[in-house]
Every structure is written in C-alpha cells, then in structure tokens.
A and B are shown apart, each in its own frame.
Chain A
Amino acid sequence: MSVRFLTREIGSLGKPAWRVKSFAGRPLDEADVAEARRWGERLGVEGHERLLELLARGDFGPPELEEIDDWAALYGLRLLEHAGLDVVYDGEQRRTEMYDHVATLADGFEPRGTVRSFDNKYYAKAAVVAPPTVSGPQDVDEFDYVRRHSDREVKVPLTGAYTMVDWSYDEHYAAHGSLGASAERRYDARRRFVADVAGNVIHPNVAGLVEAGAGWIQIDEPAAATKPDEVGLVVEGFNRAVAGVEAKKSMHICFSDYSALWPAVLELEDCLELQLEFANRDSRDLGTGDDDRPGYAETLTLFKKHGYPGVGLGVLDIHSDFVEPAELVRDRILYAVRVLEDPERIQVNPDCGLRTRSWDVVYEKLANMVEGTRLAEDALNSTHTAPVTA
C-alpha cells in the first residue's frame, strides 16, 4: 500500500488589513482594497468583486461587518485550499485570538489587561471570578460557513481547557489562603478549574460542532507541558471536553519541553495524534540523519518508545519568514518515518498557527510543505528498491 500523508494547517492566519481596519472603525485606503483584489484574483475567490465594492464604499454597520467577516473566512479558506492542503479551516478569521475568543464568550471571566507574551507581543488576559459556563456552542456558525464553502476535510481548532486555566488569573478557585498553602490544596483548585472549563465551556462547543457535522476536533493545548506535574490535568481536561462525541480528536501543543508529556498522554482517550512544533528547534540543512535533524530526534524517540498517539509533524517554523524548501520538508518527514518506522502514525502540518506571518510568506511556506510532502511520499513509495537511510 502506498504512503500518503495528510497536509493540514494548525489554526490561525493573520487577518487582512481590510478586515482589521473595518472592525476597528479605521478608514481603509486604496492599498487595502488593492490587497483584497490581489488575493481575490490569486486565490480565485468567487465573487470577490462584491467585497471590493463593499470596501470601497466604506461606512460599515453590523450587516456589512458580518459580510466582511464572511469574506475574511472565505479568503482564509481559499488560501489554504489553493496552497494544496488536504484538511482546511478558515484561519480563525472570526476569532480575536485563541484565549480571548473563549474567555470573552464564556461567563465567569473578566478582563484584567495585557501582559507580554514575547518580544513586544502582548496578549489580553482575564481572571476567572466564578465557575465558567456558556449558554451554548460558540463556534457552530463559524464551522457551518466553512463546511458550506469547502469540499475538503475540515478540522476545527478549539482552545483546550487546561490552556484556558493556565493562561487565566484565578480569583475564584484559589482566591483565598494560597500563601503558604499545601501542594495538594493548589492542585485541587487547579483540578476543579480545569474540570469546570472542560465540562461547562469546551464540551458544549465540541458537542454542538459534532452535532452540526464536524468530523475532526483539534484541542489546542499550548500550555500542556509548562507545568510538568500538571500534565495529568491536561489529559483530564481533554477527555472531559470530548467525552461521548463521535469524531476524530487530536491535540496541538507547541514550544515546550515535550518530555513532560509522557506517560500521562497515554491516558488520552481516542486521541488520533499530537500535533507538535519541531521546525522551530531544527536545523535548516538538508539530511535525514540524527545530526541533521536536532529538532526532531528527542521527541520522536518518545513517540516511538511509547507507541501512542500519532504525530502531527510540524515542518514549518511559524516565527520566521524563512521559506522552507520542499526538500527540507521532505527530509524532515523522511527522518520521522525512519525513527518511528511507521508512516501511518505521521501527518504533516506547520509548527503552529501562522498568524504572525504575511499571507505571501504563508502561501509560499504551505505550498512548499505540500510539495515536500509529495516528495517524501515519492521517496517512500519507491523504497521497495531503494530504502531510505541516514
């Protein structure tokens, strides 16, 4: 049987200036409209002339903003399709940001201000002040739009319960008596917080999406490995959030020490794969030997040793404008196959969401990712005569 890898995004794309300015109430200039025209034509976005007319007219009320949101989602979707991905979404065009999107729509959180994430990037942070709840699923309309506008497989990214907990201030569960408290007491507070977010915020959304036809739910847990003694809570949160739903389920984690994940992640129930960041820590030289692929060796060995789950192989560094050549993507995949000795456990994706890159860079990166994946498949499918070696 021939090898065929699925190529996917992880989640976010940058928002076009015409979308950002429209929602911020700032005036658009000719360059913004020209950009909408350029990408509309390049991606073959059907009927994009309507968007150009809308943008040129200006003066947006709620109906126009809703329409602009639809266009942004359609552009994001078409970019991913045009780059050749097998599995798509809308680049999270309708969401402010992965944390804020959930915290804003759920009851029980209050905004507290912004803090630095890295360099000069800041993010909004909220505090939990009461047990979090939602009145219903948050993202069904978003998913429904994507499903109606694409015939590709769709994967819905959702922020996970543990990350919501870890990135929130806690003014409820651990509000009093924390100074000098025992580890057990702190852990219990975290556990109750995770359980409430997973059961009362994330699960209703997951259930609603699957009922609406979503076939693949990706739980994003970038914070998963930042407190090694709490990886068990990540697992509990995942299992509770996706309990009882019939769909593919996977988890995305990034920029962490992955050695903390095992053996706890063996308890993830029916998790197809962990989609991890690797390229960020890898060499840009070609090659499929251990020394050529320092960003992959250690973690892939853990996947091999434990046998579960599958790996979503990050092959694009999302924090760099460096466009990975297809041959580099190929070698990263071939190396993973060599370590795992099972290509069926591997699928291909960027390290993380690409929202910090321009669409031009994103397009080139993704197109090369797809091309590199096909090169790897070609190499593997001809290995009955020429096996891949280091």
Chain B
Amino acid sequence: MVNLGNDEIVKYPFLAEAGKYLSDKGFSLDQFGTDPDLRKIVDSAFERITIASEGRIFKPDLSSDNSSLPLEIFSFLIAVILLKLSGMNTLIRRFSLAEARRAEKFLEKDLINNQDAMKAKLSLQILHELFSVTVQRVDQEFRILVRDYLKHSINFHEREWKLINRKVIDGKVHLTPHETVRLVRKELDRHIYTKINSSSSPEMIPGFENYVDKLKQLAKKFEVRTVESTEYPPCIKHAIEVLEKGENLPHSGRFLLATFLLNKGQTVEQIAPLFKNAPDYNPKVTIYQLNQLSGKSGTTEYKCPSCEKVEGQDLCFRASTCGTIINPLQFGRKRV
C-alpha cells in the first residue's frame, strides 16, 4: 500500500485509517467531545461538511506552520464520525464528492510535479493501487491503456469522454493531467463513500449531539421531491405510432419501447398487444421476448437505453420538451 507522510495525509485523508491515526497521535474520540481545546477541530469538521453540502470544496490552510497539519487531518476524520452519527446518506454523498474533487486538485498538481519526483511517483501509485489505472507519463502528457480508460470513461455522459473524442495511438489514450485525474473522480468519490459507509458506527459521543442535530436539519434541505407527467417522450410516441400504422419497427425500437414501458411499471400482458400490428407479429414470441426483457424468464432485468444510444440508433426525435434528459425514463420528471 502507499506509504504516506503527514503532508500527504492532509491531501488524501481518506487513505488514513481513522481510528489508528487518532490513537497513534494519542487521542481518543471522547476527548473531542469534551476538551474545549479540541472544539475548533469539531467546528472545522462541521464546517467541512456544510461546505461540501453546498457543492464547494474545503480549502485547507497549508501555508501556516506545521501545527496546522493534524488539524486538517483531524477535521476530516471527525467529519466522518459526525456523518456516521447523523446517518444522513445525502450528506455522506455530498461530502464524498466534495472530498473527491478536493483530492483531485492535489492529485493533478502532484502528477505534474517536476520538482519533487516522489510526489509525482506517489500520485501515479495512488492511481494504480486505488483505481487499477496504470499511467505512463511522457513529457506533460499522460498515457493510459484504452482498456483501462474505457473502464472509467463509460461512466461519463459527456460526449468529450467518448473514445472517438480522444487521441488514441497504439492502444493508449493520451490525456492531460487534469483529464487523467478527472477520469477517476467517480471512483475516488465511490472509494471515499464506501470507506465512510463501511466504517463502524460509533455510539453517540458526549458533546457531539448538537452538531449531529444540526446535520440532520441540514440534510432536510436536500430532500428532493419530484412529480412525473404521464406523457411519453417523442421517441416512445414515435415507436408506438410506427407500430400502430403496421409498419416495421426495428429490433432496437422494439427493445426501447418494451424496456421503457416495463421500467415505467407496465406488465408484459399490458405491453404485448402494442406489437400486434407488427408485420412479423407472433404472440408467443412477443410474450417470450417481453418476459426476457422484464427479467421474469432470466435473471437480467433490461434497462431502458440512454438517449445517446437511442440517438445512435436513429430512434431519437428529441424535442424542446425533452430538456436535458439523458434517458427517456426521465422525460416529464420535475423537481418540486
């Protein structure tokens, strides 16, 4: 595993073993609840969470003297404890993402650190050990095996991350330092989130109650309520129209229509009659296929394809009513 010095743990605090780190430094959790001198650390931890919940990145003060180093690390570790005590998943999600973005900035800086070879090496090591990405540096450019690149990039919806929009030479994707680090943001986020979630939940620490109550209040702000219209998106309307006219809807169109309706909660029996006008209609085959898609016959429940996929199959009839949806299932969904 990666060997970390104090200044590395400040940048990547999620790599530290929380309990061990605190006890190594001679502290117990209870002390943070009772010792007035340690209160500023708990305040800082609380602030770290609230800043993260607003989508901003916590900026540590690295310019001050060395005594500030444990404060930054402690504030992360205590923030994790506060989050666990609050049990507010929405805050843990927001915190993980903000911490991932914070670490991303350091990772990027370290990757191109020409002065300190150790820092550059460590950042490559983090990418390799945490995310199984082997990065080769050539001047200011970073090269990643296409296979490794795809493993991460398929999680992105932005077109710039498609392989076709990358410089690909001899089995490697060429990336800037920023892109290299951005590539693993989701995994970094997931890594932090999993680490927080899998850590054991402590008993309430005397002195933390107030912070935890405030976090519970804070989480309420982020509850999202949505309403959904019953109208179908244009691609689905088109597919139904084609079938109603008795024209041939390609396999991909039938897949789209069936998975959309299944995902919306309709039953195989409700959907099957839609296909009765298809030129090659066979009721037995239709029911068999729908059962397969619904997961009734197999173990896989097929998901409605993304808008990008639908577009690639020439089945997209995007209208202004679609807005910025990335999956037909999101059509007509509004936050209230």
A complexed with B: no
Chain A residues within CB distance 8 Å of chain B = none
Chain B residues within CB distance 8 Å of chain A = none
